[in-house]
Amino acid sequence: MKESRRLLQHFLAALAYRTQKALREAPDEIIRFHDLLAGLHADFADESLIARISDEQFLQGPLADAMTHAGQLALLRRLAGSPVASEDFIEAAIDASNVSARQPLPVAPDDWWRPDQPPQPPGPRRMTGTNRIQ
């Protein structure tokens, strides 16, 4: 399999992880989403299939759009009073073969995150004498 196809499969797994995080404990309608990801994941593994667009175009177009929508779902959860905890996605336990709804819990959640407080601004966090972030 081409390396770019493996990268696309990993991207689908990252999309599954982030979307499931935003939808955790949501109604069962999310099953369709994961079924769609599984079908696309299998298509990317099938070297006999010829796409009308390049792997790069898949990534920059529909897949990038889907990741944007995963972020929008998280934003909507916050607006609805049910915020999604922040985490360091670089450390996330993403398995390129797993596009199911059964995604692992965060490996590196942000320890400063509190559901009743707004997101922190970018930049270094200030610590006080009691190691609380201000």
The larger pLDDT score, comparing residue 111 to residue 58, is at: 58
96 token code pair: 């390129």
42 token code pair: 């299998």
- Residue 134 pLDDT: 47
Report the length, in residues, of the chain. Answer: 134
**pLDDT tens digits, residue range 44-53?**
999 999 999 9
Q: Name the residue type at position 124.
A: P
Domain map of the chain by residue range?
A: 1-134
Burial of residue 133 (CB within 10 Å: 0-12, 13-18, 19+) is middle
Q: Name the residue type at position 110.
A: D
pTM, 2 dp: 0.73
